[in-house]
Structures are given as structure tokens and as C-alpha cells.
Amino acid sequence: MRLFIDTANVDEIREVASWGVISGVTTNPSLIAKEGRDFKQVIEEISSIVNGPISAEVISEDAEGMVEEALELVKISNNIVIKIPMTSEGLKAVSVLAKKDIKTNVTLIFSPLQGLLAARAGASYVSPFIGRIDDIGTDGVALVEQMAEMFNIHNIDTEIIAASIRSPKHVIDASMAGSDIGTIPYKVFKQMLNHPLTDSGIRQFLSDWEKAIK
Ligand code: E4P
């Protein structure tokens, strides 16, 4: 599973990018709003840090408006992916953009059938929301597993981005369920990195080393 970071905070992106582990970024209007900065400037800065797909979400609710926004956003950089919500207008916009070779990420996917529709409309990526499904007492990872199997059986090349990841366990489960990509918040990257036995192991190695050379 490839790793994307799910944030619009450029400091977080810079730090995790410096580890050499991320191959893309996803944002959404809530994450952009949290930064209190100009949308296009943020996307431009992110695309200068990460050389992989950067999802920037449209806010129009009609297909025409979505396509218009998309055509502006793709001017920012050649790695912009247009994030579009899973609605009938969204699907229309995806199919128009696919014909123009513009990549899209259909977001707010909560069922395998929504995933199939998005894929058939020509989406490059679909984003099932694991955490939000778990929040309502259903199994988010099971959705990823079902979609991965369905896409595999039918040779659908739309990639699955496991989104709304809330914990390191979600990352493990999404990767074992066959997700192509996991988009992970900064906090979860830090949780994945750290382990108390690594810390105590380093302290032990260094203290043994110090004792030996004295
Ligand atoms: C990413 O594509 C989504 O916008 C994001 O993962 C949503 O996460 P949340 O459910 O924690 O807001």
C-alpha cells in the first residue's frame, strides 16, 4: 500500500516527506479551512513539496461548476488531482474530466456500489471513508476489502485510497484489505513511527557503548 498524507498543513507535509515515505497528499475543504490560508496558494506550496498526486477538492455542487473549478486547479501544477464528491453531478463532472485526461478522486464513498459507479464514470481514484463508517457502527475496512475484490475481479484500474483513517490499526487493516493507497493524518504517521521498545533499545545500545569505551 502506498502512503499519502491527509492534511493541508505544509509543515506536517514537509516533515513526513523528509522521511521519504509519502507519495501523495489529500486535502479537503475542512482541512484547508483549518489552515486559514488562500486555497490555491496552499495547493501550490504542497505541489512544490511532494512530487506525487495532490488532491484538491471542488466546492461547487453542479457538474458545470465542478469542471470550471477543476480547469483552474489543474493550472497550478501537473500533479493536481481533482477531488469530487460522490453525487450524480459529481459523476457527470468526473466523466467530462476523464475525457480531458484530468485525474479525479471521488470522495465520500460509503458503499461498494458508489465505488463502482465512480470507477465506471472514469475516476482515477476512489476514497472510501473508513473512520466515518466505523463511527456509525459499521465496518469501514470491510468496505475497502469488498471494493478491492470487486475491482480485482473486473480488472478495474481505478485505485482505492483508504481515507478517514484514525489509527495505526486502520492502516494495517486497510493494507491487508488490499487498498492501493492509504491517506493518513500526521498524528497517525507519528504513531506508526514510534515504539517504546525502539526508544529503550536505542538508550540501552548507547549506554552499553558509553560504558565500553570509558
Ligand atoms: C480524505 O480524502 C478525507 O477527506 C479524509 O480522510 C476525511 O477524514 P475524516 O473522516 O477524519 O475527516
Is 27 a pocket residue for ligand 1 (Cβ < 6 Å)?
no
- What would the mean pLDDT of 187-197 be, rounded to a whole number? 96
**pTM for the whole thing?**
0.96
Looking at residue 137, the DSSP 8-state letter turns out to be T
Pocket test for ligand 1, best of 6, 46, 83, 106 (most atoms within 8 A of CB): 6
In tens, the pLDDT along 40-99 reads: 999 999 999 999 999 999 999 999 999 999 999 999 999 999 999 999 999 999 999 999
Residue 166 CA: nearest ligand 1 atom is 11
In tens, the pLDDT along 126-170 reads: 999 999 999 999 999 999 999 999 999 999 999 999 999 999 999
Q: How close is the Cα of 180 to the center of ligand 1, in Å?
A: 16
Q: Is the pLDDT of residue 214 over 70?
A: no
Quickly count helices (H) and strands (E) in the chain. 11, 8
Torsion of CA 37, 41, 47, 50, to 10 degrees: -30
Give the C-alpha distances (Å, rounded to integers) separating 121 from 124, 125, 156. Answer: 10, 11, 12
Q: Are 66 and 60 in contact (CB under 8 A)?
A: yes
What residue type is 80 in one-letter code? Answer: I
Active site residue 83: yes
Residue 26 has φ and ψ, to the nearest 5°, of -120, 145
